[in-house]
Amino acid sequence: MRRRVVLLAVAILVAGVMSADAQKRGGTLRVSYGNEIANLDFTTAPGYELNWVAMNIGCGLLGITPDGAFVPDAAESWTISPDALLYTFKLRKNVLFHDGTKVDAAAVKFSIDRILDPATRSSMRTYYEPVVHSVEVLDPSTVQIRLKQPYGFMLHMLAAYRMGLLISSPTAMQKYTLEDRKAGKPEAVVGCGPFRLVEWVKGSHLVMDRFDRYYDQGFPYLDRVVIRVIKDPVTQMAAFKAGEIDFIVDFSPEHVDTLKAQNPKAQIMTGKETTPMVAMMKITVPKDGKPMSKERAPHPIFSDVRVRKAIGCYGIDRKEIVRIAFKGQATPWVGIIPPGTPDTVDVTHLCSYDPAKAKALLAEAGYGPQKPLTFELLTNNDKSIFNVIATVIKEQAARLGATVHIRVIDKVSWLNVVTQDGPFDMFVEDLASLFTLDQNTLLSTSTAAWNMTRHTDTKVDDYYARYAREMEPGKRKAIAKDFQEFMTDKLYWNTISGSPFYEVAQPWMKGYVYQAEWKVLYKKVWLDR
């Protein structure tokens, strides 16, 4: 028996060495983004592009695998108290920041306290503030997070909400200013991840080099990662075809077929959608005409749930939209949680396309030939697909006798209108990706700053609270199901379909694991040229 165990151990060791030998070291990975990075302050900069950089420069307490398992990062282990209020993390002793200082419990406390500090203006504060009570340093390598109440998504939040918790170097944070970090000064942008920042030239490139003192010896395989912004998909495809780039993050779904035809050996990666494409209808408007006012009045058209359901539920042929706008490469969907997010339930059958039912509801609400329904559909020119969807909705609404005026504006103006309680009836956009349903509190509780439809139903908040506090996965799933049916019934949130996310890699790029928008990690990537 003992001999068998020894043989097994030797076999595993040999297999490990052989597989490690198979990976080639060195080389430069050339990556293309479709959008520019806003700035390099990990705590405040908006946009996924920065997240995809930050998660390679920074390290956190833990990570997550595509199948949802939590894996150690700077923390080698952790325990959760039976009352689910204390999370204790034991840190590795050999983790260094790029500035040479040590990653210890004090640095973890510093990082979480920074997020909680309103002066930091961290976008993560929305999640941390309601649940984190305090952080305590038990010893240099042990840190304990005390929660205000049990929270079923603590590890999810630490691992992957936005870019996950990235541990900041207190030394670098105190030495350099916010402006230094935003501008991408390499000495100021310090992490403990596998790559260190070499240079960011806005509009041109971002360069990261291997951090030689990375705690996970042997990683990363690459010497360098160079990220360039190529906004035009045709140029992206040309650069890919010519072998000028190795990897495209967030490739436009409309061009996938063309790229496949041009590059039969390309690795085209996608999965179930985690981002919803929505056609949101405004529920309330400010009573006093002042945006964001707490005094609310019903929206003249869509405060009536019959009209919402007539237009948004039975009046929208989601399959047709997917066929025309996405060339079939998306899932028609109604639920508030996209198809790829855990605890999702397909409630699309509750809103199957039924123009007769839609017309009847409109008639019941007082709309018809005598009083035709007319509303404005607001969208932006950030992605051409929004306008295609808006046009199809206009056509579908016309079949119900409703007139839709499409207004296309630029993204910044659009953001101002929809997030700042500006005047709109309906808008089309693909919103933030959802790692968990809990993450959507940011956009849909009645009190959320970005509650764009401005619904005032506190039942929504109750559902979210119950869901977040439930520690038992089975019960949580049941709450999620009820909630999705409730939201489909009320239509405070109107999903059209999933919004697919594609990544494209050259055949020689190996070791990359697709994790949707959540994780774009180069640590284990190697080049087999």
Partner 1 sequence: MRTYILRRLLQIIPTVLMITFVVFVMMQSIPGDPVVALLGDAYTEEDAVKVRQAYGFDKPVMVQYFIWLGKLVQGDWGNSILSGRPVLKDVMVRLPVTLELIVLSMGVALIIAIPAAIIGALRQNTWADYTATSIAMVGVSIPEFFAGVLLLLVFSIGLHGLLPSSGWVYLPGTCPTIVCGISVWGNMQHVFMPALALGIGRAALLTRLLRASMLEVIRSEYITTARAKGLSQRPVVLKHALKNALIPTVTVMGLQVGFLIGGAIVVETLFAMPGLGTFGIDAIIARDYQQVQGFALVTAIAFVVINLIVDLTYTFLDPRIRYT
Binding residues (CB under 8 A) for partner 1: these are 36, 38-39, 41, 44-47, 118, 121-123, 125-126, 178-184, 198-199, 201-205, 207, 226, 228-232, 234-235, 237-239, 241-244, 262, 292, 409-413, 415-416, 419-420, 432, 442-443, 449-450
Two structure tokens written together for 111: 């990082």
Query: CB of 55: closest distance to partner 1 in angstroms?
Result: 17
Contacts of 413 (CB under 8 A, 6+ apart): 380
Query: CB of 385: closest distance to partner 1 in angstroms?
Result: 18
Query: CB of 118: closest distance to partner 1 in angstroms?
Result: 8
Query: CB of 460: closest distance to partner 1 in angstroms?
Result: 18
Two structure tokens written together for 265: 């050996």
Instruction: Provide DSSP, 87-135.
Output: EEEEEPSS-B-TTS-B--HHHHHHHHHHHH-GGG--TTHHHHHHHEEEE
Question: What distance in Å separates the CA atoms of residue 61 and residue 71, rounded to the nearest whole number?
Answer: 9
Angle at 355 between CA 354 and CA 360, to 5 degrees: 105
Q: Is the CB of 47 or the CB of 366 nearer to partner 1?
A: 47
Query: CB of 243: closest distance to partner 1 in angstroms?
Result: 6
Question: What distance in Å separates the CA atoms of residue 270 and residue 263, rounded to the nearest whole number?
Answer: 16
Query: CB of 417: closest distance to partner 1 in angstroms?
Result: 8
Q: Is the CB of 123 or the CB of 142 nearer to partner 1?
A: 123
Query: CB of 415: closest distance to partner 1 in angstroms?
Result: 5
Spatial contact of 316 and 353, defined as CB atoms under 8 Å apart: yes
Query: CB of 445: closest distance to partner 1 in angstroms?
Result: 13
Q: Is the CB of 234 or the CB of 513 nearer to partner 1?
A: 234
Q: Is the CB of 33 or the CB of 89 nearer to partner 1?
A: 33
Spatial contact of 500 and 273, defined as CB atoms under 8 Å apart: yes
Spatial contact of 424 and 418, defined as CB atoms under 8 Å apart: yes
Q: Is the CB of 154 or the CB of 227 nearer to partner 1?
A: 227
Q: Is the CB of 133 or the CB of 241 nearer to partner 1?
A: 241
Query: CB of 450: closest distance to partner 1 in angstroms?
Result: 6
- Directed axis angle between helix 318-325 and helix 384-399, to 10°? 140
- Report DSSP state, residue 300: T
Query: CB of 66: closest distance to partner 1 in angstroms?
Result: 25
Q: Is the CB of 84 or the CB of 178 nearer to partner 1?
A: 178
Q: Is the CB of 83 or the CB of 410 nearer to partner 1?
A: 410
Helices (H), 117-232: 125-131, 154-160, 170-175, 178-183
Q: How far is CA 60 from CA 116, 273, 421, 493, in A?
A: 17, 25, 36, 33
Q: Is the CB of 352 or the CB of 416 nearer to partner 1?
A: 416
Q: Is the CB of 9 or the CB of 449 nearer to partner 1?
A: 449
Spatial contact of 292 and 415, defined as CB atoms under 8 Å apart: no
Spatial contact of 29 and 525, defined as CB atoms under 8 Å apart: yes
Query: Omega into 170 within 30° of 0, i.e. cis?
Result: no
